[in-house]
């Protein structure tokens, strides 16, 4: 791939990363110190990406610069955990891929207990497994509390919000698919062993 082709692909990659994390250009600007107009031009390909622009973006998204420029994979299967703070929560990406289903560990502080005036909606499908603590999930008209070991899955076009149900942090494993992919669990049955008579 030629250098011009690599640079041309950076803008759409930056836009996809921002949309996957549900961050506005204004929020990203506040977190990186890069103006909204520069960020917009970067995403549309009207501004050439430079190292001094990509470094704060990589830090903000919690990804290596290689991922921003689409460098070929090195063959290392390990996921390098880079926590990101978003909406008061710590998000730890557990998967490499920038498309398809994304896996995260969320650590939700007890300060995230106040329900906003409006619940959020966006494209996608989410699957949540509570690892520790108690999670409060508002989903449409429902107000649910999930304890450790409980699972919820829902279409994110339904108005929703989640936070702590009590004054202790909550740890959650979540799978999110922007295109509406659903999580499917398959269990393999064991063959029956007949007892000798």
Q: How far apart are CA 49 and CA 16, in angstroms?
A: 16
151 in Cβ contact with 129 (< 8 Å) = yes
18/38 Cα distance (integer angstroms): 14
Evaluate whether 110 touches 168 at the Cβ level (below 8 Å).
yes
Residue 44 has φ and ψ, to the nearest 5°, of -85, -5
Cα separation of 78 and 93, whole Å? 12
CA atoms within 13 A on the CB side of 94: 12
Instruction: Give 153's strand partners.
Output: 127
Span 65-94, pLDDT tens digits: 777 777 655 566 666 667 777 777 888 888
3-class SS of residue 69: helix
Query: What integer pLDDT is reported at residue 179 of this predicted model?
Result: 61
Q: What is the pTM of this model?
A: 0.55
Average pLDDT for residues 36-64, to the nearest whole number? 85
């Amino acid at each position: 791939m030629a250098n011009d082709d690599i640079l041309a692909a950076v803008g759409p990659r930056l836009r996809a990363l921002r949309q996957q994390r549900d961050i506005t250009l204004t929020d990203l600007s506040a977190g990186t110190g890069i103006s909204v107009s520069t960020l917009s031009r970067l995403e549309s390909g009207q501004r050439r990406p430079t190292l001094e622009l990509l470094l704060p973006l990589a830090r903000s998204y919690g990804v290596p610069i290689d991922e921003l420029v689409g460098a070929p994979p090195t063959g290392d299967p390990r996921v390098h955990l880079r926590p990101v703070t978003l909406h008061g929560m710590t998000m730890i990406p557990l998967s490499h891929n920038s498309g398809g289903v994304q896996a995260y560990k969320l650590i939700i502080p007890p300060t995230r207990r106040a329900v906003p005036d409006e619940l959020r909606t966006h494209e996608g499908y989410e699957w949540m497994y509570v690892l520790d603590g108690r999670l409060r999930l508002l989903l449409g008209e429902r107000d649910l509390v999930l304890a450790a070991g409980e699972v919820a899955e829902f279409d994110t076009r339904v108005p929703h919000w989640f936070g702590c149900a009590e004054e202790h942090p909550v740890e959650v494993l979540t799978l999110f698919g922007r295109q509406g992919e659903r999580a499917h669990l398959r269990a393999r049955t064991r063959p029956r062993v007949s007892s000798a008579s």
